């Protein structure tokens, strides 16, 4: 019986073992891949199959920039120990290089491109590895910042001043703004918060004109918590980020922030 290369490759991805062992198993089981998997498991040769379903709550954030393209990657593993392993780190760096060279920001395409290599790594280090997410920014003046491999930031501005872009990126890493400015907050989020504040002001029995001022004050505080430009600047909390930007003629056009494991909560 002739066994196709694609079938051998599929079995190899599932089990994480060598090509010859996969081919022999498929020949023995007449090309039935499920029977071949069971056969290899009974033989104790399937190294990666059980590991591929295990939870991955540790890992690292990787970033890279090439010309007008910046990328963030979250690569997960099971333990902090493996996240510091050179094989794991080099795998993340290889993915970043691939993304930058190809200018790819499609997660499914990325996963397909590295599935075989990922399974081989799982087999070698004995832990599940997951390519969890990527995000990209396109354009001039993109800056990246990674804090202790656990928080990563991509920033797009109108400035090439590295030190100033780094300060803004460090602020984003520390303060976790959800939106760029009040205008970028979705209307349904604003309406929900305003309704909550209106309801709270009515409960304390304030006159309407006073309640309105209270609500506006609380909404300003709300925007100051969730939007970048309205937050107190971490490097100088006496000024807001928008004041720092104005002083230095900087316009932040977009940003992306990844924190390790936040999409698993």
- In whole angstroms, what is the distance from residue 126 CA to residue 121 CA? 8
Based on the domain organization, do 155 and 219 belong to the same domain? no
Instruction: Give me the pLDDT at residue 264, please.
Output: 63
Q: Is the pLDDT of residue 75 over 80?
A: yes
- In whole angstroms, what is the distance from residue 36 CA to residue 59 CA? 32
Based on the domain organization, do 154 and 186 belong to the same domain? no
Distances (CA, A) of 180 to 5, 17, 172: 50, 47, 10
Confidence of residue 235 (pLDDT cuts 50, 70, 90): very high
Based on the domain organization, do 256 and 150 belong to the same domain? yes
Based on the domain organization, do 256 and 138 belong to the same domain? yes
Based on the domain organization, do 133 and 256 belong to the same domain? yes
Residue-averaged pLDDT of the chain? 90
User: pLDDT by residue (tens digit) across 24-68?
Assistant: 889 989 999 888 888 887 776 665 556 666 788 899 999 999 999
Instruction: Give me the pLDDT at residue 48, please.
Output: 58
Based on the domain organization, do 218 and 164 belong to the same domain? no
Residue span of the structural domain in which 85 resides: 58-176+251-264
Indicate which CATH number applies to the domain containing 31: 1.10.8.10
- In whole angstroms, what is the distance from residue 16 CA to residue 40 CA? 11
Based on the domain organization, do 187 and 157 belong to the same domain? no
Indicate which CATH number applies to the domain containing 85: 3.30.479.20
User: pLDDT by residue (tens digit) across 76-132?
Assistant: 999 999 999 999 999 999 999 999 999 999 999 999 999 888 888 887 888 889 999
Q: What is the tally of structural domains in the chain?
A: 3
Q: How many CA atoms lie within 13 A of 138 on its CB side?
A: 4
Based on the domain organization, do 92 and 141 belong to the same domain? yes
- In whole angstroms, what is the distance from residue 93 CA to residue 42 CA? 36
Based on the domain organization, do 87 and 168 belong to the same domain? yes
Instruction: Give me the pLDDT at residue 53, please.
Output: 65
In the 8-state DSSP scheme, what is residue 54? S
Based on the domain organization, do 194 and 154 belong to the same domain? no
Based on the domain organization, do 96 and 163 belong to the same domain? yes
User: pLDDT by residue (tens digit) across 187-216?
Assistant: 999 999 998 888 887 766 667 778 788 889
Based on the domain organization, do 18 and 134 belong to the same domain? no
């Amino acid at each position: 019986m002739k066994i196709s290369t694609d079938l051998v490759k599929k079995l190899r991805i599932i089990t994480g073992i060598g090509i010859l062992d996969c081919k022999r198993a498929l020949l023995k089981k007449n090309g039935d891949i499920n029977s071949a998997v069971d056969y290899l498991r009974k033989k104790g040769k399937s190294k990666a199959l059980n590991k591929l379903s295990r939870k991955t709550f540790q890992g690292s954030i990787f970033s890279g920039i090439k010309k007008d393209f910046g990328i963030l990657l979250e690569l997960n593993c099971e333990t902090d120990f493996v996240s510091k392993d050179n094989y794991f780190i080099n795998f993340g760096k290889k993915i970043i290089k691939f993304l930058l060279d190809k200018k790819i920001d499609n997660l499914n395409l990325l996963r397909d491109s590295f599935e075989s290599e990922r399974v081989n790594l799982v087999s070698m280090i004995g832990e599940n590895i997951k390519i969890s997410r990527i995000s990209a920014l396109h354009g001039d003046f993109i800056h990246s910042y990674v804090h202790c491999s656990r928080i990563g930031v991509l920033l797009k501005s109108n400035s090439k001043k590295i030190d100033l872009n780094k300060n803004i990126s460090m602020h984003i890493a520390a303060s976790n703004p959800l939106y760029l400015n009040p205008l970028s907050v979705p209307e349904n989020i604003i309406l929900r918060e305003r309704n909550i504040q209106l309801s709270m002001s009515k409960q304390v029995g304030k006159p309407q004109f006073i309640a309105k001022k209270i609500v506006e004050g609380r909404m300003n505080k709300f925007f100051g918590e969730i939007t970048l430009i309205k937050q107190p600047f971490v490097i100088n909390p006496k000024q807001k980020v928008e004041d720092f930007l104005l002083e230095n003629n900087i316009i932040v056009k977009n940003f992306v922030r990844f924190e390790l494991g936040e999409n698993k909560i």
